[in-house]
Amino acid sequence: MTRIQLLAVAVDGTLVTSEDEISAATRAALHRAREAGVEVVIATGRRYRNAQGPIGALGLPVPSVCLGGALVKEGIGRTLHADVFGAEEFRSVASLYRDRGHAVLAQRDSHQEGGADFLIDESVPWNFLTRDYYDRNRGFAECAESLPDQARDDVLVVGTFGELAELQDLERELHRVYPGSFTSHVMPGFQYQGHYCEVVPSHVSKWAGLQRLAGFLGIPRQGICAVGDERNDLSMISGAGVGVAMG
């Protein structure tokens, strides 16, 4: 059996507790893995800035796969790879969101490119969940009029907040209109109320991002262990040499 050379750990529901903290036992275990020569990697749906809390608490300058695999970062923060929507792809998804009454959130690589972490559309009324997210993150956000009409080439993830049933309906409509073009995930807002629906181009996943990072590091698939608990972790759990699904 190939020795584990890279340990990829999801954040919410895996690395951190429901209080967004890393237990002393988890921190110690990951430090032992690092001391044994294993590359520890954070693989998360969070944007890069929001991943800094757990990374800082971990106390290791670890690489990260952020925004569900769309963004791959070195431990020092340099972007190794970013998978953005094409301008027409973005307009397709964002327009569908707007037409069904959902405010679009467009996530970006602000650490590399400057500007806001995310843009938020003002052409439809915001629900409470969207307002709450904006209020918590207003220092890193930019409001935009008619965002779905913009020909943007810097968007990594298109998302929206809402109740579970309405987001599941939105997800079904997306795949009916654009079969095979996009991957979507509806998940609980771990730090927020309600649910969140994120959409990426179909070739983007945590596993795809992790493979890119492993390629930079010269680590084969068999040498990767991936640990997670959500639907967006399935690609890396099933793709890695050793996959672990949290209880």
- DSSP assignment string, 118-163: EEEE-SS---HHHHHHHHHHGGGEEEETTGGGS--S--SEEEEEE-
Question: DSSP of 197-247, one letter per residue?
Answer: EEEEETT--HHHHHHHHHHHHT--GGGEEEEE-SGGGHHHHHHSSEEEE--
pLDDT at 192 over 80: no
How much is the pLDDT for 231? 86
pLDDT per position as a tens digit, 147-190: 999 999 999 999 999 999 999 999 999 999 999 999 999 988 75
The DSSP code for 181 is T
CB 144 within 8 A of CB 122: yes
